[in-house]
Structure 1
Amino acid sequence: MHVSYFRFATTETLVAEFDARGLRGQVGFIDISSRTFRGQGLVNVTSSLKGTIKGEMFVWKVYSNPVLPHESCTPHKYGPVFLDFSESHGLLVSDARLQLGDVFLEDLVERTLVLKSVTTLRVVCGILRPTSRVTTFSATFVKGVTGNLLIRQVNEDPGHTCAQREDGRTTTGILSSLVTSFGVDLDSPRMLTWRLFSRKYEAEDESLKHMLEQCRSLGSFPGTLLHEGLYPFPLANGLDDARHYELEPVPSLLSLVGQYSVLVVLYEGEQVEACSVLHRVKPKRASAVFNNSRSPTEVTGQVGVYQVSPLDPVKLSINLSFPLGNAMALGVDQLPTEDRTSCSGLSLRFHESSDLELDLDLTPAPQQGTPDLYPTGDWSGKFGTLLGLEFAAATVTDTTSTLFGTNSVLGRSVVVYDELWRVLGCANLEDHTPKITARASFSKVVEGELVLSQPTDSFFSETQILLKVNKTAGTEASFGHRWHIHSGQVDSDSDCASPGPHFNPYGASPTQRQQFGEGIPDTTFEVGDLQGKHGPLTLPAAVDIKEDPSTGRWLWTDSNLPLLGVGSVITRTFVMHGKNGDAGSLVCATIEMEELVV
């Protein structure tokens, strides 16, 4: 634990909520120093935990990093110990009422409170969230240093001054995930200092040009200095998760970002290593609309999802009608439907997050366990079945789903089933934002298509990848197919002899995910290295695709696959290689712009 040589104005309340491993409830921290002796760090702690066994007690510690709501509660996520309450105040019980001294809540904002049962050995995580609103900003780095920052600022609520100091600075958490783009240096982990600058507003293509030359043409001070970071950011050294979190007072960014270009500049000494422009993270909202008009007995209504930022939980709203009362379950399929009238193209499997490994044989009965004990897309498991209902209306918090990143449920299909697991209705979760779509079709040894879709609001918006393989020549499944986007262009009659090198507009070094672990950001990889970001492909046998077309369908979300700007993959070549790492090419097709959907 480092010592804070600054003090924010008092952060009055933090609450950690738990809904995992059969444990539900919360632990709240209320600063009472302002009522007694300001600055003494006096805090009341109240725990209210359900699902405990008689006499169950917990080791309780605050760890340095926030764990995202949908992530597993593991050490490489929450990082090192920041504060050990057990050592100073003993074990925590389910209904504790404690008063602690020398605890400053402003040092704990959005760090992770971890409870470890000494009886059952279960471990659960909860982010220590302020009750005030929080605004999220992001910066993506693509040259010199790769990765991203999430900057979280506690907003000053009307009538309260708990978030902001007299000098106008506000409680700010900075979550970094940074890696050098020039290869791995295991022996010399590096620390980078940082500064925030404001300058005249620039269009995104101009900002990207500065990022690609690492802002060196702008000098060490490329604008008006807003803030000089107190704590440096580490670069991942190839052994651990790249995640790192610090808290410090930073000027309010809410009125600056968007009006000016706010640059984050990283330094080694006084040498500029990388820079990026700060953007406000926009909340994501999507809906699946059931309005099939084939029959008055069909499912009608809609399901909506909403998420403010990657660090906030998903809000799920359900408003559906089942005229025959024959619905049983509701969930998110692994794939989108290709035709919601016939519900074709579905996998008939709930989407499962790769971050949460489950033994499906041990899944509890519906609504009898906490959400982490069910597949990510099993909404009826997490929140209850539809049995006997003609109408379902509910708004719940889904702590194991996300609309951001690799495990996003966006684009997948919401499906209603009857008691025999027959599909009664389906509709894709669509966010209705303007998008650009591109496609690469192939029809030689392997037949199918690659479909890419990206919102048009930013070069760094996440791109959805849908790969369809409709036909293969194999009599059995084949493994280890590498797949990439290459920089060259080929025509439809090409034998793919010279598609060029991997498309790498930002000059990243070839990267293997096993060098860093699961925390490595997509921007560390070459833009065209789809295998590095998403793993090799397994192609099903021809007979398997014929019996179940969904075996030849895959859906991914990629945060480093632009369809816009200088890094666009449009007009580049999609290549699928032979099995078991064979360099030969099974597929070679040009990616062509298909449409701009507004």
Structure 2
Amino acid sequence: MNSSQQYSWSLQSNPVLYDLKTACSKNELGKAEHDFTARHGPIQIPTLDGKEQVFTDSEITLQGPKSIWGRSLLIRNLNLSVAEETCSNVFDSGEVRTAEAVFTSPLAGNVIFRENERMETIIFSNLFYVGDDYRSASRHDWKILVTDISDPRRSKKCDYLDIIFDPNSSDDKLCSQTNHSHCKVGDLTRKHGTIAVGATNSRYSKQFFVDTNLPLSAIEGTRKMYLVLYDKNNANRVMTCAEIFLVERREVKALIDMFGVKGHFIFSQRYRMDPTVVNIELKNLNGRAKFYHIHEFPLPPRRLKEENLCSDIAVGGHFNPYGINVSLSPPPGIGTNDKYEVGDLSGKFGTLSDGRNHSDVHVDMNLPLFGPNTIIGRSMVLHKPNKERWICATIGYAAPTITAVATFVYPIVGEVVFRQEKDKPWSETTVLVDLSYADGSVNDTENHAWHVHVNEPSRDFYGWSKRCESAGGHFNPFNVGLTKYSKCNNENPYRCEVGDLTSKSKRIKIAAYKGSTKNRHFYTDVLLPLSGPYSIVGRSLVVHDDFANKVRGNRMACAPIRVVHPLMATVREWKVGTGDSSNITGSMIFSQPTEYDETTTKIELQGLNRLAGGFDVHEVWVPQDKEFPCSADAVYDHFNPFAVSSDVGPSPKVGSSDQYEVGDLSGKYGSLEGKLSLRGEFVDSNLALHGANSIVSRSIVIHKKEKRFRWVCGTVKIEAKKGEAREIVALASFDDSRHLVSGYIRFRQYEYKDGSTSNTWLEVDLKHAGFHNKNITFGHNWAVYVTQVGEDAFSSAEKVRCLASGYRWNPYLVDSKNEIYKKDCNKVNPLRCEMGDLSGKHGPLVIGQKRFVYTDVNLPLVGNYSILGRSVVLFSKNGGDVKLACTNIKPDIHIVSNVAVRKYPTFTVSKFMETMRTLLNTTDFLVSNDIQNSREILDGECLQLKVHFYGAEAYRLQIEFGNLINLGSVQRQDRFGTHTISTYYQPCRTRKS
């Protein structure tokens, strides 16, 4: 505000909602209940003598039905031709309980209840009609009714509600609008008169009441409470109702964990009528940061070492929903909150200190955690003194969320991600758009409408005519009228179709390629349920093109909206090398809701016996047939996808997580040295379960302190609750001796009960054919091809080898016939690749060197576009185009048998297994022995083995293996005919007593 100015001041009828751009308008604040200017004259800001201005007013009360708490104070400059005004609420400094009832049809809006420590409850209603029947404003009786806990029909809400909320069984003979204590608690009509429903959302649709007998603690009971409005012409007929639910204080955090700086920003707000408290704790700044802002987008998942997660493309510009002209903002720490961008925290609070650490607490009247302009889901960015972006972190959510995604595959690619608090369909939903073209276009396009439609689309998503017609019409479950539809916007969402994202947000842009500044958009929708009866999950998202060919229609692209399930991965089984021993038991449990979230690591280990040292994630899974399963040639080095140098890194627990290798858990969490056991929980911003750098199918190794000996190890495996999901495993097996390569590619994916699927994890173990072949070759392209192969897989003529495989699997018609494809298709942008282009998505293969793990976001094992029943083709080295080898992708059956075999003087397990595989004409990766579970029985005369059988022929292999031991021979039929195979190994018989 300008200095030495006179201002009018008044107490308004309604509270300020800090999440609205129009918060101080007459439409929001209503009429003046107390005109202080008329009674006391204008106020001077600042005062001429620097002293406080004190007034006495006999009409103001802080308690009772006429209490001013919860209302707003409006201050307006009298000296300006264009009004300059500010507003704020009259706050209660004690604890406040908040509840809300949301109405959607035939009238819409909400009713807010707030109770203070003096048991006074303010009620603020904003209700209006949304249909096409042009109803005029009306007034209605209203009550709070409760369900009967013994009535099985209680979930049907309005139809069976008849019990008024009255926990004290009040005698209401003396009930009046000035004597609430003698009223039935839920009889709001007698306490306050009728409630107004406006013809539209306006100042006339809003009302404010103070109730001295409305305890909200009852909402936490076993009965549900409903706010009921009755027909204006019949006070006994229910017109509509809405459940009253508690609204919890929101507290969200941005976890700072980069470049050695650790700490957090914690944002806390009781409700949209209250200020936001900001708590800042930062360590190890050392004067390297000065400015800090909230930016538009969340951080993208990190995929490559060279990615700048804090760039303009990644997190966008400052969050500035009110369009503040930054050139007019005062210097940092000087002006009032409204003079800066919402996200300009260093402008509002002052810059960071030059010292090592920074700790501070601020109160912000313009930093909402509720409503359409919430900061939740966006990012926090710290800038260097030269304003260069340096450190960033996503601002998390206040509670566990449900996440849904619409994945586009043609003719645009990318995702639209929806996130909302779990099981709270009336809470805000954040929407992140990241879309670009799939055809190698060089042009961006703008002004695309986008809507949620009723049905999940069928295969017409790539039709040349009537595209996406199967998606049906706009999703409009509350029958919002379309005649007066111009009033639909993000601050008036109840007047919108639920699916009209265009009007509630804006028209979107489609970028020519991923990485453009135009392919991302983020907004918050206050009426877009992801759970409950009006959920958008299972429907479709349609992007429109107003200039499309009439034959195709204006629907350019569509995608189903499906849930992204949180991932949990565990290590529960620990293996130890032959000749060593371990008492280690327990588990490591990793959980990550989505790829945009941190991973929580829970560790419970016993039996460490003060012998352990470090523990790490290693590159690949633990083999079950090696005598030393944790050795360097078994699980290789630490998982380090970003090539962090461990030689110059900080000591354990000192640095930020990005300064350690991804797999260096003891660096990030602390060493196991000197511990008998460990029980702890850690939050890790650099340990993914989702996406390209997932640790799933890799391993954990616990080292001994002495010489960093690799002591015990276990494979990181996905876990899902029983009945929630099923694991699908497929195998491309190069087990025929005629193949030029030997080994396998195993594919794993989870399918959930709702039809959604996880990423697909690939385990690759390939070497050149021949038992003693140690050749290593590089640059082998690999792909899934459309059809199966047969005898052509073994042709010696290169031109016809694998000819039956057809062409690369490309069900989404990705255009790969131009040079742009080679640049666009990569690990960061896998949806731009043909589905079967594995080398495009993951890079070329190395054959003969070691095993590899990959994660693929677009390689389904179920559904119309499953790769099962197709083939994998490997190409010649150094990027050659000659088909080296191919095999079919079949279901991978896994069977385990316990086999007892009699030992001979020269018996060895390795010789026994090699002989059995030779007889069965199979390989070590289809029939393998779990060395960890082999044991001698019958005083050492026999050995009991646990044998694993894999692949599409696992049942046959198990039967033939058993027959060879128990019967001594078995009939085999192969391409050479039927013949008998036999063995001299004998089963272990129980000795006679």
How many Å apart are 1:531 and its aligned residue? 2.0
CA distance in 2, matches of 1:555, 1:465: 6
Select 2:472's aligned residue among 488, 497, 500: 500
Bigger Cα Rg: 2
Q: What is the match of residue 60 of structure 1? A: 9
Select 1:308's aligned residue among 250, 270, 275: 270
How many Å apart are 1:479 and its aligned residue? 4.1
How many Å apart are 1:532 and its aligned residue? 3.0
Q: What is the match of residue 314 of structure 2? A: 346
The answer to whether 1:228 aligns with 2:187 is yes
In structure 2, give the amino acid aligned to 1:139.
A
Per the alignment, do residues 375 and 115 of structure 1 end up closer, same or farther by CA in structure 2, a change over 3 Å counting? same
Structure 1 segment 84-163 matched on structure 2, within 5 A: 84-93=35-44, 94=47, 95-106=52-63, 107=66, 108-120=68-80, 122-156=84-118
CA distance in 1, matches of 2:419, 2:149: 28
Select 1:287's aligned residue among 253, 256, 260: 253
Gaps in structure 2 of 5+ consecutive residues: 167-183, 567-591, 594-993
Q: What is the match of residue 13 of structure 1? A: none
Is 2:91–2:274's contact at 8 Å kept on the other side of the alignment?
Answer: no
CA distance in 2, matches of 1:242, 1:349: 38
Select 1:82's aligned residue among 33, 53, 59: 33
Per the alignment, do residues 436 and 367 of structure 1 end up closer, same or farther by CA in structure 2, a change over 3 Å counting? same
CA distance in 2, matches of 1:127, 1:383: 21
Structure 1 segment 63-462 matched on structure 2, within 5 A: 63-71=12-20, 72-93=23-44, 94=47, 95-106=52-63, 107=66, 108-120=68-80, 122-156=84-118, 170-183=119-132, 185=134, 188-200=136-148, 209-210=156-157, 215=158, 217-218=159-160, 226-229=185-188, 230-238=192-200, 240=202, 244-259=206-221, 260-269=223-232, 270=235, 271-292=237-258, 297-339=259-301, 342-343=308-309, 345-353=313-321, 356-386=322-352, 388-431=354-397, 433-462=399-428
RMSD: 2.9
Q: Pick the structure with more strand per residue.
A: 1
How many Å apart are 1:585 and its aligned residue? 0.9
Per the alignment, do residues 100 and 563 of structure 1 end up closer, same or farther by CA in structure 2, a change over 3 Å counting? closer
Q: Say which SS state the counterpart of residue 532 (structure 1) adopts.
A: helix
Per the alignment, do residues 222 and 567 of structure 1 end up closer, same or farther by CA in structure 2, a change over 3 Å counting? farther
How many Å apart are 1:316 and its aligned residue? 0.5
CA distance in 2, matches of 1:69, 1:92: 24
CA distance in 2, matches of 1:202, 1:245: 35
| Identity score, percent | 25
How many Å apart are 1:192 and its aligned residue? 2.7
Q: What is the match of residue 38 of structure 1? A: none
Q: What is the match of residue 525 of structure 1? A: 496
Per the alignment, do residues 425 and 208 of structure 1 end up closer, same or farther by CA in structure 2, a change over 3 Å counting? farther
Gaps in structure 1 of 5+ consecutive residues: 1-20, 23-51, 157-169
How many Å apart are 1:445 and its aligned residue? 2.7
How many Å apart are 1:466 and its aligned residue? 1.1
In structure 1, give the amino acid aligned to 2:147.
R
How many Å apart are 1:308 and its aligned residue? 1.1
CA distance in 2, matches of 1:428, 1:145: 37
The answer to whether 1:591 aligns with 2:561 is yes
Q: Say which SS state the counterpart of residue 518 (structure 2) adopts.
A: helix
How many Å apart are 1:395 and its aligned residue? 0.7
User: Any idea what the Cα deviations from partners look like across 1:27-73, whole Å, max 9, x if unmatched?
Assistant: xxxxxxxxxxxxxxxxxxxxxxxxx42xx332111111111235442
How many Å apart are 1:219 and its aligned residue? 5.6
TM-score by length of structure 2 reads 0.49
Per the alignment, do residues 457 and 425 of structure 1 end up closer, same or farther by CA in structure 2, a change over 3 Å counting? same
435-444 or 241-250, which moves further after superposition? Answer: 241-250
Select 1:534's aligned residue among 502, 505, 518: 505
Is 2:127–2:196's contact at 8 Å kept on the other side of the alignment?
Answer: yes
CA distance in 2, matches of 1:202, 1:153: 29
Q: What is the match of residue 44 of structure 1? A: none
CA distance in 1, matches of 2:204, 2:434: 33
In structure 1, give the amino acid aligned to 2:160.
L
371-380 or 77-86, which moves further after superposition? Answer: 77-86
Is 2:543–2:558's contact at 8 Å kept on the other side of the alignment?
Answer: yes
Is 2:448–2:544's contact at 8 Å kept on the other side of the alignment?
Answer: yes
Q: What is the match of residue 490 of structure 1? A: 457
CA distance in 1, matches of 2:279, 2:397: 15
Is 2:489–2:503's contact at 8 Å kept on the other side of the alignment?
Answer: no
Is 1:511–1:525's contact at 8 Å kept on the other side of the alignment?
Answer: no
Q: What is the match of residue 549 of structure 1? A: 516
In structure 1, give the amino acid aligned to 2:17.
L
CA distance in 1, matches of 2:265, 2:407: 33
CA distance in 2, matches of 1:235, 1:87: 31
Per the alignment, do residues 84 and 202 of structure 1 end up closer, same or farther by CA in structure 2, a change over 3 Å counting? farther
In structure 2, give the amino acid aligned to 1:532.
S
CA distance in 2, matches of 1:580, 1:310: 41
Structure 1 segment 468-483 matched on structure 2, within 5 A: 468-471=434-437, 478-483=445-450
Per the alignment, do residues 133 and 281 of structure 1 end up closer, same or farther by CA in structure 2, a change over 3 Å counting? same
TM-score by length of structure 1 reads 0.79
In structure 1, give the amino acid aligned to 2:348.
K
Q: Say which SS state the counterpart of residue 348 (structure 2) adopts.
A: helix
The size of the alignment, in residue pairs, is: 516
CA distance in 2, matches of 1:438, 1:201: 33
Per the alignment, do residues 219 and 68 of structure 1 end up closer, same or farther by CA in structure 2, a change over 3 Å counting? closer
Per the alignment, do residues 283 and 239 of structure 1 end up closer, same or farther by CA in structure 2, a change over 3 Å counting? closer
Per the alignment, do residues 231 and 322 of structure 1 end up closer, same or farther by CA in structure 2, a change over 3 Å counting? farther
Is 1:152–1:172's contact at 8 Å kept on the other side of the alignment?
Answer: yes
CA distance in 1, matches of 2:218, 2:301: 45
User: Any idea what the Cα deviations from partners look like across 1:526-579, whole Å, max 9, x if unmatched?
Assistant: 3222223223x131552xx56x53421111222222222222222211101113
CA distance in 1, matches of 2:251, 2:485: 31
Per the alignment, do residues 517 and 461 of structure 1 end up closer, same or farther by CA in structure 2, a change over 3 Å counting? closer
In structure 2, give the amino acid aligned to 1:362.
L
CA distance in 2, matches of 1:284, 1:323: 28
How many Å apart are 1:525 and its aligned residue? 2.7
In structure 2, give the amino acid aligned to 1:528.
G
